Chains A and B, each alone.
Chain A
Amino acid sequence: MIDVLRILEKDARTSPATIADMTGRTEEEVAEIIAKCEREGIIRTYKTVVDWDKLKEERVFAFIDVKVMPARDVGFDDVALRIHRFPEVHSLYLVSGEYDLRVVVEGKSLKEVASFVHQKLATVDRVVGTATHFLLKKYKEDGVIFTEVPVDERLAVTP
């Protein structure tokens, strides 16, 4: 199963037929593995890594560190579950260190993100502090390097 997932993780568009050839499995077997992984939530989704900076489309990302007062029995989970439902929240992690939650927020403008933080995030119960870091430039995301487009510089035929 892991061999199939590794291939899909690198390129989600690889067809079951190609994966079958690559792994020595039958196409049916590969389709079955993929279906099972989708059913069981092992495969969460298929997505595309887009470099939005290349387009006119304005998108603002910010990393917001959130300090939370933990509560008996639930720790940080109930606060996290409140926060992650906001559509502005792109990713949410529980982290170690000075802050407890790291929220990645996406918006159309600085103002939009800032007002989300002030009005929605900071006002959630037991949130005792936030620190906002706006993303200025993406160098690498999900294993994809953004600063250079890879070119094959090898000679076309070599011994």
Chain B
Amino acid sequence: MRTTAEPPIRPACRIQQMPPSGIRKFFDLVSQMDDVVTLGVGEPDFVTPWSIREAAIYATEHGATRYTSNYGLLELRRELSRFLEKRWGLEYDPATEILITVGVSEAVDLAMRAILEPGDEVLVPEPCFVSYKPCVELAGGVPVPVACHADRAFHISVEDLQAATSSRTKALIFNYPNNPTGASLTKRELEGIAEFAMRHNLVVLSDEIYDRLTYDMPHTCFATLPGMIDRTVLLNGFSKAYAMTGWRVGYAAAPAPIVEAMCKIHQYTIMCVSNVPQHAAVEALRNGDSEVNLMVDSYNHRRRLIVKGLNRIGLPCHMPEGAFYAFPSIKHTGMTSEEFCEKLLKEEKVAVVPGNAFGESGEGYVRCSYAASVQSITEALDRMARFLDRHAADTTAEEAA
């Protein structure tokens, strides 16, 4: 039985002041409705390949039920070290330079807390994943947003990074291929960023969780660029490539002192990642490749389908180079991103995510995930076309009046 209407305990001010994720707000709205066709999902529409699930069952049967090393299962770190060697020619010592984390999300938090002194600034190119700025703030740092623009297809510009740099700039965090824009970066562009990082002695947090989902161009791992292995915290995981979001397994690969510092925080807060999912991840690395390729082909078909469709119905959209998101402009509708998404949801029961949830420069855009069936995508496009027609009529009527 509660004794007072208002509980006498309160969350800390700095948490109260932190804005909730724009996605959360929209999620609450969507979850009150039935029969929504959703392009709002930021995770694969595949279930984890069976061989991986089966390996987890086997591990469970054989008693993989205890703590693992704080760093993560040694077998997994060894497998990862081999994988990074084979895929990128990068040498990471499995004993000291790789940490298994609860998804990339935990790794971002750990890395920020491990490297930032109070007041250190972190460059955050936007639009970007929702957690970067809050993680910087929680670690006592100051996020400095750097807008990426549609006229460059949302590619990062070194000039803009340069303009946002100060004597307090400690790090740069970015994600390519990018959630929400789908933009990736060419080797040449990355070289420009590497040179910039070198010039300002920055730590680079390179979130490459979508690296396997790259189309039309090869992915370049940031740590492979000259000198970058010494200043990069490479962040990656199993969620997107192997459709393993719910298993929560990611990793950070970085110079030993950084990994050691991250592990120090990790051991006090998390202890270790769940044991069984780590065994599943081992199987993913050993035998998951052919399934990944099938999924990539399937995303690629749907990427073309949705981009073609969005442009046809009058929502200008660049061709995303990776991930599974299209990021069309809705500026000509005269609505804000949030208005557009709310009206579209209420009138046509289609869920897309307002671009401003990913930073101010995402205003005027919406994120459409094509990790949805071909039927859902075509149905959503039909409904969006109807919606646009109706509202185009509104604006013409207004103009006439």
Which residues in A have some Cβ–Cβ distance to B below 8 Å?
A: 3, 6-7, 11, 14, 18, 21-24, 152, 154-159
Q: Contact between B130 and A7 (Cβ–Cβ < 8 Å)?
A: no
B114 at interface by CB-CB < 8 Å: no
B301 touches A157 (CB 8 A): no
Q: By the criterion CB–CB under 8 Å, are A156 and B305 in contact?
A: no
**Complex Cα distance A3/B308, Å?**
17
B45 contacts which of A11, A22, A152, A155 (Cβ < 8 Å)? A152
What residues on A are CB-neighbors of B301 within 8 Å? 3, 7, 22-23
Interface size class of B (residues with CB under 8 A): 20 to 34
Contact between A22 and B23, CB atoms less than 8 A apart: no
Q: Are A157 and B38 in contact (CB under 8 A)?
A: yes
Determine whether the beta carbon of A157 is less than 8 Å from that of B304.
no
Q: Which of B23, B131, B302, B374 contacts A157 (CB 8 A)?
A: B23
Q: Which of A6, A24, A158 contacts B297 (CB 8 A)?
A: A6
Contacts of B38 in A (CB 8 A): 156-157
Binds A, one of B26-34, B78-86, B141-149, B164-172: B26-34
CB contact under 8 A between A158 and B41, given known A6-B297, A18-B378, A21-B309: yes
CA distance A22 to B41 in the complex (A): 20
> Closest approach, in angstroms, between the C-beta of A17 and any C-beta of chain B?
10
**Given A154-B43, A154-B45, A157-B23: A18 and B305 interface contact (C-beta under 8 Å):** yes
- Chain A interface mostly helix, strand, loop or mixed? loop
Closest residue of chain B to A22 (Cβ to Cβ) is B301
A158 to B367, CA, bound (A): 11
Identify which of B40, B131, B179, B374 contacts A18 (C-beta below 8 A): B374
Q: Which of A6, A22, A156 contacts B351 (CB 8 A)?
A: A156
Q: Which 4 pairs of residues, A with B, have the shortest CB-CB distance?
A: A157-B40, A22-B301, A21-B308, A157-B27
- B292 part of interface (Cβ distance < 8 Å): no
List 20 additional contacts besides A18-B378, A156-B36; criterion CB under 8 Å.
Answer: A3-B301, A11-B374, A18-B374, A21-B308, A21-B309, A22-B302, A23-B301, A24-B304, A152-B45, A154-B41, A154-B43, A156-B27, A156-B40, A156-B41, A157-B23, A157-B27, A157-B40, A158-B41, A159-B129, A159-B131
Which of A3, A14, A155, A158 makes the CB contact (< 8 A) with B374?
A: A14
Q: Which residues of B contact A154 (CB under 8 A)?
A: 41, 43, 45
Chain A neighbourhood of B140, CB < 8 A: none
Query: Scoring B residues 33 to 59 as 1 if CB is less than 8 Å from chain A, else 0, what string do you get?
Result: 000101011110100000000000000
Among A11, A14, A21, the residue within 8 A (CB) of B304 is A21
Check: B353 CB closer than 8 A to any chain A CB.
yes
- Bound CA span A12–B34, Å: 29
Q: Please report the C-alpha to C-alpha distance between residue A24 and residue B374 in the assembled complex, in whole angstroms.
A: 15
C-alpha gap A3/B305 in the complex (Å): 14
Using A18-B378, A22-B302 as known contacts, say yes or no to A155 and B309 having CB atoms under 8 A apart: no
Q: Which residues of A contact B378 (CB under 8 A)?
A: 18
Task: Decide if B21 is an interface residue (CB 8 Å cutoff).
Answer: yes
B30 engages A157 (CB within 8 Å): yes
* Alpha-carbon separation in the docked complex, A22 to B373 (Å): 12
Contact A157 B305 (CB under 8 A): no
The interface bits of chain B over 94-132 (1 if a CB of A lies within 8 angstroms of the residue's CB, else 0) are 000000000000000000000000000000000001110
